[in-house]
Amino acid sequence: MKEELSVILIAHNEEDVIGKLIDGLLANYREKILEIVVVDDVSTDGTAGVVESRRKSEPKIKLVRRQPPCGVGRAIKTGFANVDKRASYVLTMDSDFVQSIGDVGRLIARMEAGGCDGVIGSRFVEGSRLEVYPLTKKIMNRLFHMVVWTLFNIKQKDLSNNFKLFKREITEKMPWRSDDFAINAETGILPILSGYRICEVPVSWIGRDEGQGKSKFKLFKVGLGYIKVIPYALSFRKK
């Protein structure tokens, strides 16, 4: 995977962490990375300025600035649309995943080992680490996965984590629909229903510390969006 990887970072008011994430990715995986596509999702802070300052001296960085309305799904779809055609693989990460930089290597190693079209960084498999994760959020996550496991006979344990490495064709061919956080469920479910081989590796997930910005995750709003993905997946499976 020599300079074949396009990394998509979704950023909405992430000036406190986006620079650290970009620097860490390049320091550890420069030979793998073709480009880092930062999608600035209508930030009102200095996110774009932090990225732009690095872009001036680093040709691997691409800044894409979206216009309203914002939304994780819209931003991820914008990122997919801006991937360089020379890329063979696409990695998606949240911009606060600074503590997950070391885990990127696990996803890459699993993909390079063969037998997978995509790799999910899972918070719920043996060897993973999950800290500062609200109990209510965990319960809702597990209930959602139980429904998905039952309806679709899907065995993967963390479909909704936005820490995924795909062959580029998956990002191009899937009919992504959600404009909000529910896109993270779609990127987990739809490739599997399409017959792609999706593997999982254990990763660490640690809640934001002070100085890492504020989470945009709104539990019940997101939960409703995930529920809406289920009938869409059911209709998708019948096609």
Q: What is the pLDDT of residues 83-128, one digit of tens each?
A: 999 999 999 999 988 989 999 999 999 999 999 999 999 999 999 9
The counts of H helices and E strands in the chain are 8, 9
* CA dist list (Å): 75 to 37, 40, 92, 131: 11, 8, 11, 27
DSSP class per residue in 71-98: -HHHHHHHHHHT--TT-SEEEEEETTGG
Structural domains in the chain plus CATH codes: 5-238 (3.90.550.10)
* 17 Cβ contact list (under 8 Å, min separation 6): 95, 96, 98, 212, 213
Q: Which pLDDT belongs to residue 133?
A: 79
Q: What is the pLDDT of residues 136-145, one digit of tens each?
A: 888 889 999 9
* 218 Cβ contact list (under 8 Å, min separation 6): none
Q: What is the pLDDT of residues 167-224, one digit of tens each?
A: 999 999 999 999 999 999 999 999 999 999 999 999 988 875 544 444 444 556 666 7
Reported as a pLDDT band with limits 50, 70 and 90, residue 237 is confident
Q: Round to whole Å and give the CA distance between 229 and 28.
A: 35
